[in-house]
Amino acid sequence: MTPIERKRPLASKNAAVKARKRQKIAGGDADYRSTPQTSAPAANGSKVRLDDLEWNEVALPDRLDNYEGFFGLEEIDDVEVVRSATDGRVSFKTAERSTAKSTKKRKASEGQQKDSNTREPQPVVDKPSDGEEWEGFSSDDQDQAQEPKVPAKAAPARADKKQKKKKEHKKGAERANGTSEPRNRGSNAFAGLGDEVQEDDVNTSAWDSLELSQATLSSLSRLKFPRPTPIQSAAIPEILDGHDVIGKASTGSGKTLAFGIPILEHYLESKTGRRKASQASEDTHAPLALILSPTRELAHQITAHLTALCSHSSFDGPSIATVTGGLSIQKQQRLLSKADIIIGTPGRLWEVISQGQGLLKRLQKIMFLVVDEADRLLSEGHFKEVEEILNVLDKDDEDIENDDIDSSAEQQQRQTLVFSATFHKGLQQKLAAKGKFGGELMDKRESMEYLLKKLRFREDKPKFIDVNPVEQMAQGLKEGLVECAGTEKDLYLYALLTHYPNTRTLIFTNSISAVRRLLPFLQNLNLPALGLHSQMPQKARLRSVEQFTARPGSILVATDVAARGLDIPGVQLVIHYHLPRAADMYVHRSGRTARAENSGSSILICAPEEVAGVRRLVAKVHARRGGSDSKYFIRSLDIDRRIVSKLKPRATLAKKIADTENAKKQKKSEDNWMREAAEDLGVDYDSEEFEGDAPGRRGRGAGRRKAERVAGAMSKGEVQAMKAELRSLLAQRVNVGVSPRYLTSGAVDVDALLRGERNGEFLGEVGGLGLEDAPVKG
Ligand SMILES: Nc1ncnc2c1ncn2[C@@H]1O[C@H](COP(=O)(O)OP(=O)(O)OP(=O)(O)O)[C@@H](O)[C@H]1O
């Protein structure tokens, strides 16, 4: 049903404001009061009056100057307009949910209006959501709440919380032993959680020292996370104590929950207070946290992690809005209006903020700003939109109108949490022409200086937590390189994949065109390959990640859009088809495997001239051990050339078919573009004539273009013939010459390999990457 909209009458606005003020003074909140509502909700589908419907105010753009007597819009969903057949009168039929809530709200509001003169003012637990809500409080209350929440002051609050939590723990234990009265379910958000011990819950006593709420502990138990990871152990208490935190820990070490758990704790603790404030002024519902992510996939993944943390519980989880490009902006705007946690990529977030709709002011009230994969977000080339957002949060933007918020107080409220596996300098330094690497990694002092320069922390010295300063690569990671001629990379890629059948593999390239080229190449060879790059439509991107996650032996060919943060369980092998452009990228790409204490392998495919640079790069990454120069020497894996040569005919054919089809697609889209341009200019377009006449058709790329032209000119029949030939090649046994069964002293069963059966001895012989003895969870 489409939403009904109506103009919000001035009188109703004034009444609403007055009611809110009264409600604030009373400190009450109908939905969260412990006294049960006695009024029965209206029957499902009953008719109600227009004013009894649960109207929601529609946000107007922040920068709308002149309302010209227009006070606002309200809208409502799920309402049926019923016209009486007898007298033509219009009434409204609404679902029980809506009617019940509006009845409850009306009753509450009436009750509060009645009681407002007799009740004692009660302090609101959390900070107010706007200046107006301070009315009715003493100046002491105001001072207390507006005081900067510096750690020294936060500590006593933490001490109180500790007492409270100790009691909660004790009660939880009593309940578990059957020594306490069962809790009154429904009396608060945590009610009954301790009672619901499920068979497959795990013991979470290792989390006890963090003093988390029973609700969070139950969630962790159900997620089967028996103990915190080192970064969680170190960061969570500091964040709960109110500190700004810079957290550095290796890939896959659980950084998401290191900030996610404290945010959830804060949400649960302040839920009643926050809801009180927001109930009083629903149109200014302030989010608790803003989490910035460099990629769309990571943003959606953080959402999934936080949702999983909450969905395993019986409390009402926070409302999470994910704001990324490629998906409906209108839908995201709607979610934003009620969001407790906003997770987004800077570009789309800035777009939404710029469009107004009230988000800007609400964002200024956040309690947590999280910058995930911080070095990437804050690096040149990506920083602009982040900077704009930071300006908005800190109210530096002079364009912002109707400014009635005390920005300094708001800024001091906010905790800034920064996480990454690497902090590096010179992200933009690319591989120099002769295979040199840029992208030096920063030490603690440098990264601190860098972040302090870029971010506005509320503390002079945020807590820098580096749980594994001696090693940023995951413990279970094995590394190796395969050397081959630059022109044979495709062939060696195929050979490598053949030796790791049914292995979830992530292949990294440095360009979108390489993804477009490799994907059909591998698919032609009957390999279950998927693609991921930033020019794919967002839905296709999400689908690729979903399918890669769901299908155990699948292969994902991706650009570095997949390098950061993606947590796909059971990725066993990462192949760097193109070398990473910087040391940090090597760390992040390789970090897609060997996550959460699993094992995995990372293999670079290098041209001979690249080998020395790669060795230096990998040694540099490992040199973080104690700061001394590392002797780490990445092993070379010698793939038997006899096998490679046997695989060559099929690889060559698969490549030719892929290139032909790509060239045809390319030609078609170029033709379409040229034809449209010619039509716009009112001239005739003949592609062949254009090709022949075009000047400057020599020089760089001319050879490739010629090959593309030839490939593109191939007939359908020729392509079909190549496909048939490839099919027959793929169906044949590979005759390896010496012995069709065993190569390299009986270590490799090539037929078994080509049948898709694993043979780990192959690499075991030459370098012992140890994939075979790497059990993979998930
Ligand atoms: N305490 C825990 N016990 C077991 N598993 C955990 C725990 N905390 C997180 N995990 C799991 O570990 C995996 C990696 O976590 P996460 O994605 O947060 O890593 P990360 O440090 O952010 O990695 P990256 O640097 O690559 O972004 C996830 O699947 C997560 O569910």
The pLDDT assigned to 744 comes to 34
The pLDDT assigned to 493 comes to 96
The pLDDT assigned to 611 comes to 92
The order of strands in the sheet holding 245-248 is 320-323, 341-344, 289-292, 368-372, 415-420, 245-248, 463-466
Q: Is the CB of 256 under 6 A from ligand 1?
A: yes
C-alpha dist (Å) from residue 734 to 523, 737, 749, 751: 19, 9, 11, 7
310 and 453 within one domain: yes
- Structure tokens given for 590: 């390789």
Domain-located, residue 149:
no
Domain membership of residue 452 as a residue range? 208-273+285-395+412-433+441-466
Domain-located, residue 553:
yes
Best of 473, 595, 776 for a ligand 1 pocket test (most atoms within 8 Å of beta carbon): 595
Best of 232, 255, 473 for a ligand 1 pocket test (most atoms within 8 Å of beta carbon): 255
The answer, yes or no, to whether ipTM is higher than 0.95 is: yes
**What's the gap in Å between 523 CA and the centre of ligand 1?**
31
pLDDT range class, residue 125, cuts 50, 70, 90? very low
530 and 620 within one domain: yes
Strand ranges in 447-513 using DSSP code E only, listed in sequence order:
463-466, 477-483, 505-508
Q: Is the CB of 228 under 6 A from ligand 1?
A: yes
Whole-number percent of the chain with pLDDT over 90: 26
550 and 425 within one domain: no
Question: In this structure, which residue's CA is closest to atom 10 in ligand 1?
Answer: 254
Domain-located, residue 32:
no
509 and 427 within one domain: no
Best of 208, 223, 229, 295 for a ligand 1 pocket test (most atoms within 8 Å of beta carbon): 229
Is residue 86 scored above 50 in pLDDT?
yes
456 and 310 within one domain: yes
Distance CA 769, CA 604 (A): 13
Tell which of 619, 639, 659 closes a domain: 639
Bridge partners of residue 6, in order along the sequence: 74
Crossing angle for the helix pair 214-222 and 151-177, to the nearest 10 degrees: 70
Domain-located, residue 660:
no
Question: Count of domains in the chain?
Answer: 2
496 and 458 within one domain: no
Q: What is the pLDDT of residues 37-80, one digit of tens each?
A: 333 334 445 666 666 666 665 554 443 333 444 445 566 666 67
Ligand 1 atom with least separation from CA of 596: 12
Bridge partners of residue 510, in order along the sequence: none
584 and 485 within one domain: yes
Q: Which residue has the tokens 């698919």?
A: 523
**What's the gap in Å between 256 CA and the centre of ligand 1?**
6
457 and 534 within one domain: no
Q: Which residue has the tokens 């969260």?
A: 32
C-alpha dist (Å) from residue 710 to 15, 541, 661, 690: 75, 31, 11, 16
Ligand 1 atom with least separation from CA of 256: 18
Whole-number percent of the chain with pLDDT over 70: 53
**What's the gap in Å between 257 CA and the centre of ligand 1?**
7
The pLDDT assigned to 502 comes to 87
Q: What is the pLDDT of residues 694-749, one digit of tens each?
A: 544 555 556 666 666 666 677 888 889 999 999 998 888 765 544 433 333 334 44
371 and 519 within one domain: no
- Residues 128/145, Cβ–Cβ less than 8 Å: yes
Q: Residue 323: helix, strand or coil by DSSP?
A: strand
The pLDDT assigned to 51 comes to 64
Q: Which residue has the higher pLDDT, 545 or 28?
A: 545
Domain-located, residue 733:
no
308 and 212 within one domain: yes
Long-range contacts of 256-259 (CB under 8 A, 24+ apart): 256/301, 256/302, 256/305, 256/306, 256/372, 256/567, 257/225, 257/232, 257/305, 257/309, 258/229, 258/231, 258/232, 258/419, 259/235, 259/291, 259/368, 259/370, 259/372, 259/417, 259/419
Q: What are the backbone angles phi and psi of residue 621, rounded to the nearest 5°?
A: -60, -40
630 and 607 within one domain: yes
Tell which of 590, 608, 639 closes a domain: 639
Question: In this structure, which residue's CA is closest to atom 3 in ligand 1?
Answer: 225
The pLDDT assigned to 304 comes to 93
**What's the gap in Å between 364 CA and the centre of ligand 1?**
29
- Structure tokens given for 688: 């062949």
Tell which of 613, 639, 665 closes a domain: 639
- Structure tokens given for 220: 């962790």
Q: Is the CB of 344 under 6 A from ligand 1?
A: no
Q: What is the pLDDT of residues 212-228, one digit of tens each?
A: 998 899 899 989 999 99
357 and 268 within one domain: yes
**What's the gap in Å between 565 CA and the centre of ligand 1?**
9
Domain-located, residue 752:
no
Domain-located, residue 268:
yes
CATH number at residue 503: 3.40.50.300
Ligand 1 atom with least separation from CA of 249: 21
Question: In this structure, which residue's CA is closest to atom 22 in ligand 1?
Answer: 255
Determine whether 248 is exposed, middle or buried from the number of CB atoms within 10 Å of its CB (0-12, 13-18, 19+).
buried
- Residues 223/311, Cβ–Cβ less than 8 Å: no
Best of 312, 473, 567, 602 for a ligand 1 pocket test (most atoms within 8 Å of beta carbon): 567
pTM of the entire predicted model? 0.62
pLDDT range class, residue 33, cuts 50, 70, 90? very low
Distance CA 199, CA 222 (A): 10
- The whole-number average pLDDT for the span 366-394 is 82
Is residue 131 scored above 80 in pLDDT?
no
Domain-located, residue 166:
no
Question: In this structure, which residue's CA is closest to atom 25 in ligand 1?
Answer: 251
